[in-house]
C-alpha cells in the first residue's frame, strides 16, 4: 500500500503541471475558438528561458517564472497579431481548422529554431533543493515538485481572480460568451482576443519554467505536452479553470497508478482511454456545464 500511495502522490504532483499547461490552451480555445497546437512549443520556450536564466545568471527557476511568463506573453501577442488575427472574423469551423494548420506550422518552426539554437540535448535545472524530500503519510514528496504544484495552484488562482474580479477579466468572459454582443456594448474585442492569446502563452511559459525543474527540456517535448493539455481540456471542460486543474491532477494520478499496476508502457494508454470515455459519455467535460 505504501508503494501505491507513493504513486498516487507522485501522480498528483505531475498532474498539477498537466492542469497548468492545459488551462492556457483552454483559455485560448474558449475565448477565440482557436486551437493552438503549438502550445507545447511555447511551454518548451518557457523551459529554456528558465534554464538559461539559471545557467547564465544563477536565477532560481521559481524566480524566473515571472520573466518567462512575461516573455511568452509577448511571444503570444506577436504570434496572434502576425498569424492568427486574420482568422478572428472567420466562421467557426473555418477558424478552428485554419488555426490548427497555422499552429502546426508554428510548431515545426519553433522546433527547428530550438534545434538550431540549443541542439537536441536535454536540459534541466538542478537547484540546491533538488534532492530534498518531505514525508507524507508513508510517502516521500520531492520538495521541488511540491513547490511546482503550489506555484501552479497559485497561478490558476490568480487567473481565476483576474477573470472574475478584474474589469478586463470580465471583458474576456463576456467576449467568450458572445463576441458580437461584447462589441456592441463597447468591449474592444480585438484587444481582448490578443490579450487572451498572450495570457494562454504566458501560462505555457510558467508551466515550462516549472517543467525545467522537474523534468528535462528539449526541442522535442512540445507535442507530448500539447497532447496532455488536449486530454486535460476534454476531461475538465473548456473555460473551467479549477475544473481543468483538477482534471490534470486526475490524469496524473491515473497514469501513475496504471503504471504501478500494468507497467510504465501503459501510462500513456490510460490517458487516451480516459479521453475517449469522457468524450463519449460527457463531451462537455467533467466540470463544465452543457
> What are the residue ranges spanned by the domains of the chain?
2-222
Percentage above 70 pLDDT, the chain: 98
Of residues 240 and 171, the one with the higher pLDDT is 171
| Cell 463519449, residue located | 280
pLDDT bin (cut points 50, 70, 90) of residue 223 is very high
Give 215's contacts (C-beta < 8 A, 6+ positions apart). 124
Q: Tell me: pLDDT of 192 over 90.
A: yes
Q: What's the pLDDT score for residue 290?
A: 56
pLDDT bin (cut points 50, 70, 90) of residue 1 is low
CB 125 within 8 A of CB 51: yes
Q: What's the pLDDT score for residue 283?
A: 79
pLDDT bin (cut points 50, 70, 90) of residue 268 is confident
Of residues 273 and 202, the one with the higher pLDDT is 202
pLDDT bin (cut points 50, 70, 90) of residue 262 is confident
Q: Tell me: pLDDT of 278 over 70.
A: yes
Using one digit for the tens of pLDDT, what is the confidence trace for 51-107? 999 999 999 889 999 999 999 999 999 999 999 999 988 887 899 999 999 999 999
Q: Tell me: pLDDT of 280 over 90.
A: no
Q: What's the pLDDT score for residue 151?
A: 93
The whole model's pTM is what?
A: 0.94
Count of residues making up the chain: 290
Burial of 86: CB neighbours in 10 Å, binned 0-12, 13-18, 19+: exposed
Q: What's the pLDDT score for residue 289?
A: 60
| Cell 467535460, residue located | 285
CB 75 within 8 A of CB 236: no
Lowest average pLDDT, out of 116-130, 188-202, 253-267, goes to: 253-267
Name the residue among 288, 243, 245, 247 with its Cα closest to residue 271: 247
Please tell me the distance from the alpha carbon of residue 69 to that of residue 76, in angstroms, as a whole number: 10
pLDDT bin (cut points 50, 70, 90) of residue 210 is very high
Amino acid at each position: 500500500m505504501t508503494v501505491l500511495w507513493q504513486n498516487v502522490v507522485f501522480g498528483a504532483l505531475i498532474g498539477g503541471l498537466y492542469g497548468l499547461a492545459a488551462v492556457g490552451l483552454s483559455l485560448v480555445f474558449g475565448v477565440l475558438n482557436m486551437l493552438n497546437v503549438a502550445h507545447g512549443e511555447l511551454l518548451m520556450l518557457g523551459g529554456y528561458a528558465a534554464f538559461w536564466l539559471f545557467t547564465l545568471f544563477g536565477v532560481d527557476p521559481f524566480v524566473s517564472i515571472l520573466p518567462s511568463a512575461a516573455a511568452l506573453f509577448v511571444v503570444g501577442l506577436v504570434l496572434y497579431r502576425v498569424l492568427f488575427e486574420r482568422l478572428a472574423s472567420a466562421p467557426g469551423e473555418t477558424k478552428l481548422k485554419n488555426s490548427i494548420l497555422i499552429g502546426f506550422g508554428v510548431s515545426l518552426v519553433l522546433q527547428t529554431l530550438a534545434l538550431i539554437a540549443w541542439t537536441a540535448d536535454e536540459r534541466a535545472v538542478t537547484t540546491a533543493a533538488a534532492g530534498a524530500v518531505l514525508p507524507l503519510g508513508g510517502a516521500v514528496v520531492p520538495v521541488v515538485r511540491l513547490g511546482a504544484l503550489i506555484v501552479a495552484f497559485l497561478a490558476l488562482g490568480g487567473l481565476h481572480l483576474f477573470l472574475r474580479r478584474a474589469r478586463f477579466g470580465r471583458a474576456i468572459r463576456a467576449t467568450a460568451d458572445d463576441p458580437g454582443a461584447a462589441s456592441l456594448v463597447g468591449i474592444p474585442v480585438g484587444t481582448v482576443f490578443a490579450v487572451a492569446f498572450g495570457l494562454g502563452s504566458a501560462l505555457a511559459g510558467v508551466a515550462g519554467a516549472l517543467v525545467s525543474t522537474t523534468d528535462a527540456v528539449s526541442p522535442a517535448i512540445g507535442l507530448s505536452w500539447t497532447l496532455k493539455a488536449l486530454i486535460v481540456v476534454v476531461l475538465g471542460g473548456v473555460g473551467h479553470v479549477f475544473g481543468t486543474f483538477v482534471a490534470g491532477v486526475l490524469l496524473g494520478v491515473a497514469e501513475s497508478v496504471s503504471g504501478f499496476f500494468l507497467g510504465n508502457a501503459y501510462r500513456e494508454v490510460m490517458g487516451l482511454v480516459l479521453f475517449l470515455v469522457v468524450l463519449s459519455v460527457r463531451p462537455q467535460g467533467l466540470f463544465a456545464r452543457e
